[in-house]
């Protein structure tokens, strides 16, 4: 089980070419992202205070990150007082070793799992398999991916690249107890998954989860889900092991009043997801008797050290940025070469893994048109385009030495895009330069160090006036 | 150095150059749902999840519970040990109180479960159970396939912030918004996966006659 791996994936441009040639993939992605965009827009539109919620969500995460050491210690103290055992893991190998040891100590050879991005990131299932422990994914989409020996391609819906008839085929082929006459009716597919996992839920002794939020002041963890597989894993087994990235903290219980509004509306486009569970250590007579929390770094402190890139740690894994991204909609998630696809993956993966010896990671900051739709959709206001431009400069640093003109241009672009007044000035300059350099609407070859850029592409001449200038001249005073 | 000290050291190193001031959280979002009949809104929003919703006067509760049990074909009903007797009158179902504690298999043998709740949120159509009176432990409302939840109008609040204020974040909480569902097939919501596939919410409101 779980033979599929991200190792050896090609860099984004090559992987994207393969995806673009797959018409079925294109159709599946178009259907799914169109559906979810409409749902999200409807539930966001009914909140007049949405922008206030976004601002609060961003500030809560920034507040946490600014004193992350303090909140981690507070969480540890509170969770421990409530009967949890808190472990710390510097990297994936250490986290996997801790989980394997805990499962062995419980004398179990199988675990049931709640969908968790972080256990994808550390490739926990492979580590468990190597130790002779079988991991059963219980989220429907994770189950589809696992049975199909496939890789996840979306944060929320890892099997988004499969349509209903492909899912039926996987179930018929790989699920021993699937009915012979299984149709591709989604309700029938969900019922087959229910039957398939029911015994596992009722008999498993160890469960592994992630967490959507960890509350520093109380030591509580929060898991947000839909199917009830999360509740099964969090409630029925004797031992619960939760792997939690250190950025998942929020300072206070009250902060959840913001996060639990932002996440479901951004994620599944619902006013609220079907089930949210919160627990704090061991609750005698209710749920697991042994509760472990593994706090994971695995590159997060490197992200934290970058004053532009660190905003990626605000991410609450809603996947709204994937669903609105024109690049993701066409390439799908596999092209991003990591469990974190789409715009957020393009800024998170290069920072978590580093770009120096990782051509996939170094290619990701370019996997974007910088259209800005992701920033608009992000519930915690991560300025993904600005981070992408910043990381392009770092990618060039990491791979090409210090004096590249591209690095200089990207740095300048990052500085320019960071302020509206600078941008306006730059647009005025560009309009002038365009008038000097352009012929028939195109700028052809440029001289000197910029020749490498223009050798393979024409650049459209900037318009005579920017939209901002046009707006000021034509509309100011009527619409503001 | 152990992992804990090393990670904390890395965090402090990463933040060494960051400005020292606390980040203030602007909380200009709505805290209350003003000018709204929260009980009606709650019922409407629960209905949007394709759950069954009834609003009843206190004296009509027992007959409505009995009717819903019949309608869902519940033969065996799990209940928390402290469920008020007056909620269940002449139902004809076999009632199993969770005391002594029912095994997982015994719970699996129950067709339904009847509980109260701690808080209900109008805007999102959510019920929240905190393991307090009339609710029982978490597994009780998870394993049986039909969950009938009695919601006194007094626990219905307008918004998520109001619910967070009322709830105790140190208790084991379960927030329920409609029956078990999934969006995993083509990103469309389908009801009915691992949790209860049928959710019946009965709001008890003195204003209803």
pLDDT tens for each residue of A297-314 = 999 999 999 999 999 999
Nearest to B164 by CA among B200, B202, B123, B206: B123
Nearest residue of chain B to residue A305 (CA atoms):
B14
Domain spans, chain A: 68-138+205-306, 428-480
pLDDT of residue A454 exceeding 90, the answer is no
- Report the residue of chain B nearest A161, measured CA to CA: B186
**Interface check A190 vs B, CB under 8 A:** yes
CATH H-level, domain B35-204: superfamily: NagB/RpiA/CoA transferase-like (3.40.50.10420)
pLDDT of A55: 98
Q: Of B27, B138, B175, which has the smallest distance from its Cβ to A276's Cβ? A: B175
Q: Which of A3, A84, A152 is nearest to A289 (CA)?
A: A84
CA distance, residue B209 to nearest chain A CA (Å): 30
pLDDT tens-place values along chain B, 209 residues long: 899 999 999 999 999 999 888 999 999 999 999 999 999 999 999 999 999 999 999 999 999 999 999 999 999 999 999 999 999 998 889 999 999 999 999 999 999 999 999 999 999 999 999 999 999 999 999 999 999 999 999 999 999 999 999 999 999 999 999 999 998 888 778 888 999 999 999 999 998 76
| Distance between CA atoms of residues A392 and A12, nearest Å | 14
A94-117 per-position pLDDT tens digit:
999 999 999 999 999 999 999 999
pLDDT higher than threshold 90 for residue A123? yes
Which residues of chain B neighbour A28 with C-beta distances below 8 Å?
186
| Contact list, B190 vs chain A (CB under 8 Å) | 186-187, 190
Q: Is the ipTM of this complex over 0.85?
A: yes
Give me the pLDDT at residue A388, please: 97
Structure tokens at A292: 């472990």
Question: pLDDT (tens digit, 9 = 90+) per residue, A223-242?
Answer: 999 999 999 999 999 999 99
Q: Which DSSP string corresponds to A341-391?
A: -HHHHHHHHHHHH-STT-HHHHHGGGS-----HHHHH-TT---HHHHHHHH
CB-side exposure of A228: number of CA atoms within 13 Å? 32
Q: Inter-chain contact B25–A63, Cβ cutoff 8 Å? A: yes
Q: Check residue A42 and give its pLDDT.
A: 97
Task: Give chain B as a DSSP string.
Answer: --HHHHHHHHHHHHTTTS--SPPP----S--S-TT--HHHHHHHHHHHTT-EEEEE-GGGHHHHHHHHHHHTT-SEEEE-TT--GGG-SS--SEEEESSSPPPHHHHHT-SEEEE--SEEETTTTEEEE-S-TTT--GGGGTSSSEEEEEEEGGGEESSHHHHHHHS-TTS-EEEE-SSSEEEEETTEEEE-SSS-SEEEEEEE-TT--
Q: In this predicted structure, what is the pLDDT of residue B184?
A: 87
**Lowest-pLDDT range, A66-75, A268-277, A461-470?**
A461-470
* DSSP symbols for A78-93: HHHHTTEEEEEESSHH
Structural domain A68-138+205-306, CATH architecture: 3-Layer(aba) Sandwich (3.40)
Interface test with A, best of B10, B183, B190 (most A CBs within 10 A): B183
Whole-number Å distance between alpha carbons of A51 and A60:
14
Q: A422 pLDDT band (50/70/90 cuts)?
A: confident
Question: What's the pLDDT at A327?
Answer: 96
Do residue A301 and residue B26 have CB atoms under 8 angstroms apart?
A: no
Cα distance from B90 to chain A (closest Cα, Å)? 31
Higher local confidence (pLDDT), A190 or A468 = A190
Helix axes A50-66, A68-81, angle to 10 degrees: 90
pTM: 0.89
So what's the pLDDT on residue A1? 42
Q: Which of A16-25, A376-385, B94-103 has the lowest mean pLDDT?
A: A16-25
Contact A72 B8 (CB under 8 A): yes
Summarize the confidence of residues A405-433 as an average pLDDT.
68
From A137's Cα to the closest Cα of chain B, the distance in A is: 13
Q: 121-140 in A: which are within 8 Å (CB) of B?
A: 138-140
Q: Is B73 left (phi over 0), alpha (psi -120 to 50) or beta?
A: left
Distance CA A202, CA A233 (A): 9
> A2: pLDDT confidence band, cut at 50, 70 and 90?
very low
Question: B194 to chain A: which residues are within 8 Å by CB?
Answer: 138, 193-194, 197-198, 201, 227-229, 231-232
pLDDT: which is higher, A214 or A160: A214
Q: Is A205 on the interface with B (CB under 8 A)?
A: no
Nearest-neighbour CA in chain A from B1: distance (Å): 11
Q: How much is the mean pLDDT over chain A?
A: 90
Nearest CA in chain B to A30: B186
Q: Do A228 and B160 touch (CB under 8 A)?
A: no
Nearest to B182 among A140, A305, A307 (CB): A140
Q: How far apart are CA A374 and CA A384, in angstroms?
A: 7
pLDDT score, position A88: 98
- Say what the pLDDT of residue A479 is: 45
| Cβ atoms < 10 Å from Cβ of A454 | 14
A277 to chain B: closest CA residue = B174
pLDDT for A129 equals 98
Through-space distance between the first and last CA atoms of chain B, rounded to whole angstroms: 69
What is the maximal distance between C-alpha atoms in chain B? Answer: 70
**Do the chains contact at B174 and A268, CB–CB below 8 Å?**
no
Q: What is the mean pLDDT of residues A434-457?
A: 62
Taking an 8 Å cut-off on Cβ atoms, the answer to whether A56 and B15 are in contact is no
Find out whether B194 and A228 touch, Cβ atoms under 8 Å: yes
């Amino acid at each position: 089980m779980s033979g599929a791996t991200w190792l050896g994936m090609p860099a984004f441009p090559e992987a994207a070419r393969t995806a673009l040639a797959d018409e079925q993939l294109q159709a599946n992605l178009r259907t799914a992202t169109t559906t979810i965009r409409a749902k999200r827009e409807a539930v966001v539109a009914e909140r007049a205070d949405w922008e206030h919620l976004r601002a609060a969500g961003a500030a809560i995460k920034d507040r946490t990150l600014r004193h992350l050491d303090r909140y981690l210690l507070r969480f540890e103290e509170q969770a421990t007082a409530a009967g949890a055992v808190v472990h710390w893991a510097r990297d994936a190998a250490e986290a996997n070793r801790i989980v394997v040891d805990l499962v062995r100590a419980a004398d179990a050879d199988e675990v049931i799992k709640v969908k968790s991005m972080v256990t994808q990131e550390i490739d926990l299932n492979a580590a468990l398999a190597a130790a002779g422990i079988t991991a059963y994914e219980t989220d429907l989409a994770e189950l589809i991916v696992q049975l199909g020996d496939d890789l996840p391609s979306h944060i929320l819906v890892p099997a988004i690249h499969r349509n209903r008839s492909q899912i039926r085929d996987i179930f018929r082929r790989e699920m021993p107890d699937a009915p012979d006459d299984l149709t591709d009716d989604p309700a029938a597919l969900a019922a087959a998954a229910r039957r398939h996992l029911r015994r596992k839920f009722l008999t498993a002794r160890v469960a592994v989860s992630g967490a959507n939020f960890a509350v520093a002041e109380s030591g509580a963890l929060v898991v947000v889900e839909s199917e009830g597989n999360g509740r099964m894993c969090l409630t029925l087994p004797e031992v619960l092991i939760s792997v939690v990235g250190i950025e998942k903290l929020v300072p206070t219980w009250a902060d959840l009043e913001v996060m639990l509004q932002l996440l479901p509306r951004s994620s599944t486009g619902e006013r609220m997801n079907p089930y949210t569970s919160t627990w704090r250590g061991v609750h005698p007579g209710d749920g697991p008797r042994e509760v472990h929390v593994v706090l994971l770094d695995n590159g997060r402190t490197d992200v934290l050290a970058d004053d532009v890139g660190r905003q990626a740690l605000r991410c609450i894994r809603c996947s709204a940025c994937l669903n609105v991204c024109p690049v993701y909609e066409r390439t799908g998630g596999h092209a991003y070469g990591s469990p974190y696809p789409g715009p957020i993956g393009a800024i998170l993966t290069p920072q978590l893994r580093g770009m120096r010896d990782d051509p996939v990671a170094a290619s990701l900051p370019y996997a974007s048109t910088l259209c800005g739709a992701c920033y608009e959709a992000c519930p915690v206001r991560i300025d993904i385009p600005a981070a992408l431009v910043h990381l392009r400069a770092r990618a060039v640093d990491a791979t090409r030495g210090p004096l590249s003109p591209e690095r200089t241009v990207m740095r300048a672009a990052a500085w320019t895009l960071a302020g509206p007044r600078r941008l306006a000035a730059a647009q005025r300059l560009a309009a002038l330069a365009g008038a000097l350099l352009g012929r028939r609407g195109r700028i052809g070859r440029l001289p000197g160090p910029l020749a490498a850029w223009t050798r393979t592409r024409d650049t459209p001449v900037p318009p005579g006036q920017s939209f901002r200038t046009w707006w000021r001249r034509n509309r100011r005073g009527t619409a503001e | 150095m152990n992992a804990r000290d090393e990670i904390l050291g890395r965090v402090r190193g990463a933040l060494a150059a960051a400005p020292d001031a606390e980040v203030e959280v602007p909380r200009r979002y709505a805290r209350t749902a003003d000018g709204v009949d929260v009980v009606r809104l709650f019922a409407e929003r629960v209905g949007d999840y394709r759950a069954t919703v009834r609003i009843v006067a206190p004296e009509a509760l027992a007959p409505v519970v009995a009717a819903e049990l019949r309608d869902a074909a519940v033969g065996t009903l799990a209940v928390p040990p402290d469920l008020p007797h007056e909620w269940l009158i002449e139902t004809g179902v076999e009632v199993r109180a969770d005391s002594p504690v029912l095994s997982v298999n015994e719970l699996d043998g129950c067709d339904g479960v009847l509980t109260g709740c701690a808080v209900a949120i109008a805007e999102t159509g959510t019920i929240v159970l905190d393991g307090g009176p009339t609710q029982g432990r978490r597994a009780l409302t998870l394993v049986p396939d039909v969950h009938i939840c009695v919601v006194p109008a007094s626990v219905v609040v307008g918004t998520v912030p109001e619910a967070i204020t009322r709830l105790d974040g140190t208790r084991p909480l379960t927030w329920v918004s409609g029956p078990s569902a999934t969006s995993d097939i083509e990103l469309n919501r389908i009801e009915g996966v691992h949790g209860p596939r049928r959710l019946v919410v009965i709001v008890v409101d003195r204003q209803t006659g």
